[in-house]
Structure 1
């Protein structure tokens, strides 16, 4: 039976000294970070996990009894696990608006897509301006911005000038506009390394929806 080799006293001492230095550096860094603000957070990139990460933060808000809201710009024409969970169990803390009708290649009607995006944006504005909401997720809004169903200038101006100071806003979807990336406080790009879809595996419950 194999196992890890024993740690010598000298090795343990070197490790302790190294960790003490790292902790001291981290403590100094954290000393100047006591402020809080409502963040503009962007999840973009070709990899999976943009919406999943946003819903993870929604669950954190719920655990802290912080009211939040979700507005879906593309999804909405089909049922998802996160929507079912939130609507059936946490509706008192999370308002959920699935206002999309599917991707543009499914609707095949540009005017209809633009109208749906505008309606979702008006709901998003309402949710963000309601200061009871500590976080608002704008799921797949980057897709609507990419196809110019919404004006990125309008969205950026609203977030910069009208968003309540303590409200977090999370915007998801690939191909985030440069203007949005510039405004954001936190940007994460999901990188695609490998995906089962390319091997002929369809989207599966619990993983994709």
Structure 2
């Protein structure tokens, strides 16, 4: 073994020892409240990635999709066509607010979605629930942020994971969450006149 490789091995052994010591202290398990927010792309994509992981681990899961309505998405078609027995998929929105142009309908759809979401979260068989674009409904006050946070903190079963996606997550939700990821926008082709692409954005 040459000197450079020997130094590298010694360094990696120290890192591994430190990592092992750290991992020994991580013993608790709990259902997480996860928030994916920020102006960058990938919030829903990351949430659906976790749904696929749950299916791979035989963990019953569910999706409640707010706002997007009947807009056809690949993830919805894929899950409904192939994994309806493992992942329930609920569409509560009627479309983006600038499409419906009816605030009362938007509020009613969001509240119906939240009512269904609570049922799914409380279902003892379901281990992971994705609330896709719920942050938009919360941003427009279609849902009461205090009620949502109170439910997640005090009524959600201890081992159930809930992921909430969408831009502009409210501070109260960020404070209550166990894990928060902010997607940062550096570049987006929409700015250059390129429309949403199949397989990338829907």
- TM-score norm. by structure 2 comes to 0.98
Q: Which residue of 2 aligns with 1:4?
A: none
Q: How far 1:101 moved relative to its partner?
A: 1.0
Q: Which residue of 2 aligns with 1:88?
A: 81
Q: How far 1:102 moved relative to its partner?
A: 1.1
Larger CA deviation: 172-181 vs 97-106: 97-106
Question: Helix, strand or coil for the counterpart of 1:170?
Answer: strand
Distance 1:69 1:14 in 2: 49
Q: Which residue of 2 aligns with 1:118?
A: 111
Q: Which aligned runs of 4 or more in structure 1 are off by greater than 2 angstroms?
A: none
Q: 1:143 aligns with which of 112, 136, 139?
A: 136
Aligned length, in residue pairs: 202
Q: Which residue of 1 aligns with 2:126?
A: 133
Q: Which residue of 1 aligns with 2:39?
A: 46
Matches within 5 A, 1:25-104: 25-104=18-97
- TM-score norm. by structure 1 comes to 0.95
Q: How far 1:172 moved relative to its partner?
A: 0.2
Distance 1:61 1:75 in 2: 23
Q: Confirm or deny that 1:172 pairs with 2:160.
A: no
Distance 2:125 2:14 in 1: 42
Distance 1:74 1:14 in 2: 55
Tell me the alpha carbon deviations over residues 32-72 of structure 1, each in whole angstroms, 9 at most, x when there is no partner.
11221000000000000000000000000000110000000
Q: How far 1:98 moved relative to its partner?
A: 1.2
Structure 1 gaps of 5+ residues are 1-7
CA RMSD of aligned residues (A): 0.8
Question: Helix, strand or coil for the counterpart of 2:52?
Answer: helix
Q: Which residue of 2 aligns with 1:5?
A: none
